[in-house]
Structure 1
Amino acid sequence: MRLSRLELQDVRSYERVTLSLSPGVTVLVGPNAQGKTNLLEAVHRAATGNSHRVAGDGPLVRAGADIGVIRLEALTDEGRRRTLELELGSSRRTRTRVDGHDVRRAADALGVLRVVLFAPEDVAVVRGDPAERRRFLDELLAQRRPAFAAARSEYERALRQRNQLLKQLRSLPSTARESAASTLAVWTDQLVTHGTAVVAARLAAVRTLARPVDAFYRDLADRPEPIGLAYRCSAGPIESAPDEVVPDPAPIAAAMRDSLAELAGDELARGVSLVGPHRDDLELTIGSLPARGYSSHGEAWSLALALKLATFEVLADVGDRPVVLLDDVFAELDTTRRKRLAAACERFDQVLVTAAVEEDVPLQGAKVDVRLEDGRSSALPRPPEGR
C-alpha cells in the first residue's frame, strides 16, 4: 500500500498544505517544533481513528479555526485508488468520507490506509503502565481486523454499564437489590461474551507477534537475549494447545465466569469490575528479566521499535502492506542501531521519516523541507538532487 497524496486544511500548525508522495523513503526535514510530527499525526489519525499524541480531535484543529480537514489518497497493493476525508471539530462529531461516500461509523474507515507508526512516546509500551500495552495490541488488531474495533466498543459499553450498576448496588435498599442483581447478571453475560472475543483476539496477536518481535530486536540491538511475550489474563491462566494460534474461546469464557463469581463480593464492595481485558497485561521479557523494570534505555528503545516494526508483518499477513511512519527515531539511536534500522526499512514499500538533522537519517529518498513562519507551517518538496 502507498500513500500518494496528503492534504491538510486547518490542522495543527497547517493552514493548508498538499503533498504528493512517491514509493520508497520520504524524509521530512526541519528544526524541532516546525510541524513535522503534525503531518505524521494526521496520517495516523486518518488511518487508525486515533491520534498518538492526544485523546480527542479538538487539539488537531488549528487555533482560530472551527473545522480541520484531512484528505488523503492511497493506492492498494493491487493498484486500487482509495480516498479518505475527515472533517474534525472540537465541538462536533467527526464527519468521515470513504471513497467519496459518508460513513456512519468511524470503524468503517479502518483499513482504507494501513500504517505502522513509531514515535518517542512508544517507549511507554515497554516501560509504561499495562494500559499502554493493551492500547498497542488493540490498535494493531483494529487495523488487522476492523471488526475487532466493534467488539472492543461493545465490551467497553458492557463494562461501563456494569460498573455503573455495581456502584448503584452499594447504596440501594435491600428491597431493590434483587431486581438490580438480575440486571447485573445480564451485563455480566455481556461482559463475558464481548470480553472473550477481545481476549481471544489479543492472545492470537501476541502469538503471531512473538517471532517477528524477537527477530527485529536481534537485528536492531545485536544482542543474543531472546525476547518473550506473554499475555497475562486477569481471569487467570488460559489453557491452550502449544501450536494453537487462534485460541478456543470456551476456556476463556469459563475462566472469566469463574473469576467474576469468586470476586463478586469484592466487586460489590469496591463498585468496579475486577476481571476482564481492561485489567490484562502484555508481559515483555528480555532474556529472563521483565523489560519494564530492568531494560536499559537502549534496550527499551530497541524493544519498543521491534514491537512496532513487527506489526508490519502481522498486518501484511492479512491485507495490504502498511506504510511505515518513523517520527524522530534516528536521533535517539547510536550509529550502529541507525544503520540496522535503515537496513530494516529496505523491506518496506513506503517510509515517511521526520528528522531535525538530515544527516541523522542514513536513508536515500525524497526530501521535504518543513518550516514554521508566523505560526503557520509549510512543507515544500525539495527538487531531486542533480537538478
Structure 2
Amino acid sequence: MYIDRLSLTDFRTYAQTDLQLGPGVNVFVGSNGVGKTNIVEAIGYLATLASHRVTSDAPLVRFGAERAIVRARIVRGGQQSVLELEIAPGRSNRARINRSAPMRSREIAGIARTVLFAPEDLALVKGEPSHRRRFADDLIVTLFPYLAKARGDYEKVLKQRNALLKSGRRQWSEGHESTIAVWDQQLARAAAALTKARLTVLAGLAPHVEDAYHRLADGQKATGLVYLSSLAGDVEQQRSAPDPAHAERLRELDAAGLYEAYLRAFESSRQKDRERATTTVGPHRDDIALILGTAPAKGFASHGETWSFALALRLASFRLMREDDSSEAACPILVLDDVFAELDAQRRARLSRLVLEAEQVLITAAVGNDVPEGLEGRAFTVTPGEVALEGEAA
C-alpha cells in the first residue's frame, strides 16, 4: 500500500498543496517549524481519524478557515481509491470514497493503514496511562474498524454517566438511580467490547515487541506487556506488581462474561462514584504495564532503552497489521517523523533496515544528514506553506 497523490486544503499551515508521492522512500527535509510534520500528520489522521500531536480538531484547520480537507489517492495492489476527509471543528467530520456521497468519517477507518514513529512516542513509555490506552485503541480501530463505534459509544456514555453523577451529588433521587442503571448497561456493553479487543491486541503484540526490541537494542533484556484492569481493583496499586495472570483470566472471558463483570463493578462502585462524581471503573481507568527485564520500563529504563521500547511498540504494530493481512497490497505505510535525530548511529542503522519492510516509507528530517544511508528516495524540500520536489521550484 502506498499514497501516490496527497492534497491538503487549509490544513494547518497549508492553504493548498498537492504532492506527487511514490512507493519506496519519500523524504521531507526542512527547518523546524516549517510544516514537515503537518504533512505526515494529515496522512496519519486520514488513517486513524486522530492526530498524534493534538487531541482536538481545531488546531488542524488553518487560522481563519472554517474547515480543512485532506485528500489522498491510495494504491493497493492494482486498485486505486481516493479518500477525502473534511475536518470541521464543532461539527461532524465527513468523508468520501471515490467522490461518493458524504458519509460519517468513521466509515473510512482502516482503509488507509499507517504506523507513525514520532518523538512523542517516548510518552508511550514515560508518560501517563492515557498515552498507552490511546496507542492500543488506535491500533484496535485500524485492525477492527467496526470497533470505532464501540470506542465512540463508550466515550459518549461515559460523559453522560459522569454528568448524571455530578447532577446528583447534592441530592440523589430515584430518577438518578433508574437512569444510572440504564447508563450502566450501555457502558458495560461498550466497555466489554473495548476491553476484549485490547486484551486480544496486546496478546498479539507481545511477541513482536520482544523481537523488535532485541533487533533495535541488541540487548538481552526481555520485554513484557501486562494489562492493568480496573476490574481487578486500584490500577495505581497494580503498577507496583503487575499480575499477568489476571489479564489472562480476563482474556479468557467472552464479551458476555466481561459485560457481566462490568455490570457488577459499576454496581459495587456506585457509592464511591456518587461521592467523587465520576466513574471510577472502566477502560478509561486502565493501563498497560511495559516491563523491561524484571522492572517496569517507566522509571527504570535508560534513555536509549526507552527509545528502543517505544520504537519496538510501533514496529510490533506494523507487524501485527501485516499478520492480520499479509498481502503486499495491505502493507501499512511507515511514517518516521523527525525520529533519526533522536537516535545514536547504531539505532539509526538498525531502524533503517527494519523499516524497509514497508512498501512506502515517509520520513521527515531537519537536515538531510539525519537520514541514514540506504533510505535515499524521493526528496522534498519544505519551506513555510510550500513543498517542492528536490530540483523543482516551489
Fold shared per TM-score above 0.5: yes
Matched, 1:272 2:268: no
1:364 match: 375
| Structure 1 counterpart of 2:263, one-letter code | R
Partners of 2:28 and 2:382 within 8 A in 1: no
In the aligned structure 1, how far is the partner of 2:263 from the partner of 2:65?
Answer: 50
Matched, 1:37 2:45: no
2:218 match: 222
- Cα 1:239–1:250 shift into 2, 3 Å: farther
TM-score by length of 2: 0.90
1:82 match: 81
In the aligned structure 1, how far is the partner of 2:266 from the partner of 2:56?
Answer: 32
In the aligned structure 2, how far is the partner of 1:139 from the partner of 1:218?
Answer: 25
Query: Once superposed, what is the RMSD of the aligned Cα atoms?
Result: 2.2
Q: Structure 1, residues 329-354: CA drift from partner, whole Å, max 9, x if none?
A: 11100000000001101211111001
> Which of the residues 318, 330, 334 maps onto 2:344?
334
Look up the SS of the partner of 1:102 in the other structure. Answer: coil
In the aligned structure 1, how far is the partner of 2:222 from the partner of 2:90?
Answer: 48
Matched, 1:208 2:204: yes
- Cα 1:240–1:99 shift into 2, 3 Å: farther
- Cα 1:346–1:245 shift into 2, 3 Å: farther
Partners of 1:24 and 1:365 within 8 A in 2: no
Matched, 1:21 2:21: yes
Instruction: Identify the range of structure 1 (323-332 vs 41-50) with the bigger mean alpha-carbon deviation.
Output: 41-50
Report the Cα offset of residue 290 of structure 1.
0.6
2:119 match: 120
| Structure 1 counterpart of 2:273, one-letter code | E
Q: What aligned pairs does 1:97-116 form with structure 2 within 5 A after superposition?
A: 97-116=96-115
Partners of 2:227 and 2:247 within 8 A in 1: no
Matched, 1:293 2:292: no
| Structure 1 counterpart of 2:332, one-letter code | P
Partners of 1:35 and 1:370 within 8 A in 2: no
1:381 match: 389
| Structure 1 counterpart of 2:157, one-letter code | A
Report the Cα offset of residue 146 of structure 1.
0.7
Partners of 2:199 and 2:247 within 8 A in 1: no
- Cα 1:330–1:254 shift into 2, 3 Å: same
Report the Cα offset of residue 34 of structure 1.
1.7
Unaligned runs of 5+ in 2: 233-242
2:324 match: 318
Number of aligned residues: 377
In the aligned structure 2, how far is the partner of 1:308 from the partner of 1:246?
Answer: 26
- Cα 1:340–1:113 shift into 2, 3 Å: same
| Structure 2 counterpart of 1:190, one-letter code | Q
In the aligned structure 2, how far is the partner of 1:247 from the partner of 1:278?
Answer: 19
Look up the SS of the partner of 1:219 in the other structure. Answer: helix
Report the Cα offset of residue 241 of structure 1.
10
In the aligned structure 2, how far is the partner of 1:300 from the partner of 1:74?
Answer: 34
Report the Cα offset of residue 129 of structure 1.
0.6
Report the Cα offset of residue 358 of structure 1.
1.1
2:290 match: 284
Q: Structure 1, residues 133-186: CA drift from partner, whole Å, max 9, x if none?
A: 00000001111111111011111222122212222222236xxx2232122111
Look up the SS of the partner of 1:317 in the other structure. Answer: helix
2:193 match: 197
Instruction: Identify the range of structure 1 (279-288 vs 180-189) with the bigger mean alpha-carbon deviation.
Output: 180-189
| Structure 2 counterpart of 1:107, one-letter code | R
Q: Structure 1, residues 203-236: CA drift from partner, whole Å, max 9, x if none?
A: 0011000000111111111111011101011001
Instruction: Identify the range of structure 1 (311-320 vs 360-369) with the bigger mean alpha-carbon deviation.
Output: 360-369
- Cα 1:221–1:241 shift into 2, 3 Å: closer
Matched, 1:135 2:134: yes
Task: Extract structure 1 runs of 4+ deviating beyond 4 A.
Answer: 237-247
Partners of 1:118 and 1:325 within 8 A in 2: yes
In the aligned structure 2, how far is the partner of 1:3 from the partner of 1:300?
Answer: 31
Q: What aligned pairs does 1:253-268 form with structure 2 within 5 A after superposition?
A: 253-268=259-274
Instruction: Identify the range of structure 1 (126-135 vs 25-34) with the bigger mean alpha-carbon deviation.
Output: 25-34
Matched, 1:10 2:10: yes
Partners of 1:240 and 1:248 within 8 A in 2: no
In the aligned structure 1, how far is the partner of 2:268 from the partner of 2:125?
Answer: 31
Q: Structure 1, residues 230-278: CA drift from partner, whole Å, max 9, x if none?
A: 1011001797896997752344334323333332221111111111101
Identity %: 41
1:343 match: 353
| Structure 2 counterpart of 1:379, one-letter code | V
In the aligned structure 2, how far is the partner of 1:74 from the partner of 1:296?
Answer: 39
In the aligned structure 2, how far is the partner of 1:178 from the partner of 1:95?
Answer: 40
Look up the SS of the partner of 2:364 in the other structure. Answer: strand
Matched, 1:64 2:64: yes
Unaligned runs of 5+ in 1: none
Partners of 2:169 and 2:275 within 8 A in 1: yes
